[in-house]
Amino acid sequence: MEHIVFLDSDTLVADLRLPKFVHQWESYPATVAEDVASRLKDATIAITNKVALHREVLVQLPKLRMIAVAATGTDNVDIACCRERGIVVSNIRNYSVHTVPEHVFMLLLALRRNLLAFHADVRNGEWQKAKQFCLFTHPVLDLHGSTLGIVGYGAIGHAVAEIARAFGMQVLLAEHKGAADVRPGYTAFEKVLEMSDAISLHLPLNEVTRHLLSAKEFLRMKPGAILINTARGGLVDEKALHEALVSGRIAGAGFDVLGKEPPTEDCPLLDIDMPNFILTPHIAWSGRSAMQTLADQLIDNIEAFVTGAPANRVA
């Protein structure tokens, strides 16, 4: 009989059906690192959203045969160790192709049109003191006619590109950073930095993509450019972003992710109190319909593994 342990069930707000096969189900709202090994000691299937499963834990779990990741990103799982030990790892695919792009454009529209700055002006009585019907305290920039650079052209990147074109934006697809050749339909990474009025990141986090954008890349961007990150916090050097925003090197940023979540007091981005920086608490993925799709696919993956035909395999 399969013994299934969900390590962080509070990360999912959805109606989670139980698998159809005979099993033992054990669920924890959250799990700290010190308790992972003990909670999984008898598990054959582990479910994790963000709880880390590193080598030092995995080698203590001889019964574990599958890890069902309740997310698309798998940077919290030691994939190489899983392959060595024959542990199947499955992730979730394409569940957030509507909710994340909508969040991208919420951030992008708010920043391009200076929503927070105008809201503050009204709250502070600036409109009430105006000598005319409108207030021109901040520039309002349309999306139409501007250029959006997309870094990472998977399912979400595709969806963002479709919405951008509907707004009348020119879309540039970034080639891999440092690539010797540029694929048809793509633009060199450095050129995308230089030409884009806004850049949106849609990449997994790994050793290649960590700090993809740092001080050197911010120097290449337009002074009026906006950076949107709804992917992974580690893609951007947060200290370099802080400097780029405070110095006015770039015009603004909208982030839904940080390198450490939840953030601690030493996170440099928490200190920014400026209307051109919007930080949301990793909720771009969490539209209710998206989370239900995720929950359904999570159990589908587990059932597929038990039937001997694993789906959405990462390892």
Does 261 qualify as catalytic in the annotation? yes
Q: How confident is the model at residue 279 (pLDDT cuts 50, 70, 90)?
A: very high
CA distances from 168 to 114, 157, 210 (A): 19, 17, 31
- Residue-level pLDDT at 25: 98
- Give me the catalytic one of 56, 84, 162, 261: 261
Instruction: Specify the long-range contacts of residues 134-137, CB closer than 8 Å, at least 24 apart.
Output: none
DSSP, collapsed to helix, strand or coil, labels residue 115 as helix
User: Does the annotation count 282 as an active-site position?
Assistant: yes
Instruction: Report pLDDT digits (tens) over 76-92.
Output: 999 999 999 999 999 99
Residue type, 173: L
Tens digits of per-residue pLDDT, 142-189?
999 999 999 999 999 999 999 999 999 999 999 999 999 999 999 999
What's the DSSP call for residue 313?
A: B
Cα dihedral 119, 122, 127, 133, rounded to 10, equals 60
Q: Which of the residues 112, 176, 232, 242 is marked catalytic?
A: 232
Q: What is the pTM of this model?
A: 0.93
| Residues making up the chain, counted from first to last | 315
Q: Which CATH superfamily is domain 2-95+289-306 in?
A: NAD(P)-binding Rossmann-like Domain (3.40.50.720)
What does CATH list as the number for 99-279?
3.40.50.720
Residue 232 annotated in active site: yes
- At 15, phi and psi to the nearest 5? -85, 100
- 3-class SS shares of the chain: helix, strand, coil, % to 5: 35, 15, 50
Domain ranges of the chain: 2-95+289-306, 99-279
Same fold, 2-95+289-306 and 99-279: yes
The share of the chain scoring above pLDDT 70, in percent, equals 100
304: left (phi over 0), alpha (psi -120 to 50) or beta: alpha
Residue with tokens 């696919």: 297
Q: What whole-number distance in Å separates Cα of residue 155 and Cα of residue 65?
A: 29
pLDDT digits (tens, 9 = 90+) for 47-75: 999 999 999 999 999 999 999 999 999 99
